[in-house]
Amino acid sequence: MPPKITDSNVWQQAETLMQPAFIRLIDNIRKQLDVSNWKGTYQDVLVWAPGTSEETKAMVTSLVEELETATPERTDDIKQTLAKLPMPHPGYHLCLQRQEQREEIDLWELCYQVCFQNYPSSEPVYIDTSLIDEQGEVDWNTLDVKAKQIVDTMFQNLP
């Protein structure tokens, strides 16, 4: 579930932190995989709003594919139809495998845990301000420590 951001300042801070947090997460995951018996691969996925039916997902997917070769007139019709339907957003998953065990981890969820104090929450989220220095720049050392802690916890919680 994407974080609920209602404050433009929080949004700006999140934009500053998300890419560095993602980089530190990937690096810490790599370090854990080097010493773990889990094998990891990354996968682009489509993330749908909760409750989206399989029928709706199939319809949206079909319409998006049709857009690629549609005539200009049909393109307008397709876009109008798509505007009324739920659209997925891109996601990025870490797929872990050890023998017959498989786990899938949403990397954006981990990123949100790094960047926000109170994630997950149905309430508006707040930036973890310890990750930003007095000049408004990323505090890389603190960011790395928090990302490592979250990755370590994730690996400890694997079956």
> What is each CA distance from 8 to 11, 44, 125, 127, 156, in whole angstroms?
5, 28, 12, 12, 35
Residues linked to residue 94 through DSSP beta bridges, in sequence order: 42, 105
pLDDT at 154 exceeding the cut of 70: yes
Do the beta carbons of residue 116 and residue 126 sit within 8 Å? Answer: yes
pLDDT of residue 155: 96
Domain that holds residue 33: 1-37+105-159
C-alpha–C-alpha distance, residues 72 and 66, integer Å: 12
User: How far is the C-alpha of 68 from the C-alpha of 150, rounded, in Å?
Assistant: 40
Instruction: Kindly state whether residue 97 falls inside one of the protein's structural domains.
Output: no
> What is the count of structural domains for the chain?
1
The reported pLDDT for the residue numbered 1 is 67
Whether 67 is in a domain gets the answer no
State the average pLDDT for the chain.
93
Q: Is the pTM of this model over 0.95?
A: no
> Alpha-carbon distance 155 to 159, whole Å?
9
**What pLDDT score does 65 carry?**
92
User: Is residue 6 scored above 90 in pLDDT?
Assistant: no
Report DSSP letters for 135-148, one per residue.
TS-B-HHHHHHHHH
43 is a domain residue: no
Q: What is the pLDDT of residues 125-137, one digit of tens each?
A: 899 999 999 998 9
144 occurs within a structural domain: yes
Check whether 122 has a pLDDT greater than 90: no
Sequence-distant (≥ 6) Cβ neighbours of residue 19 within 8 angstroms: none
Model confidence at 82: pLDDT above 70: yes
> In this structure, is residue 53 part of a structural domain?
no
pLDDT at 20 over 70: yes
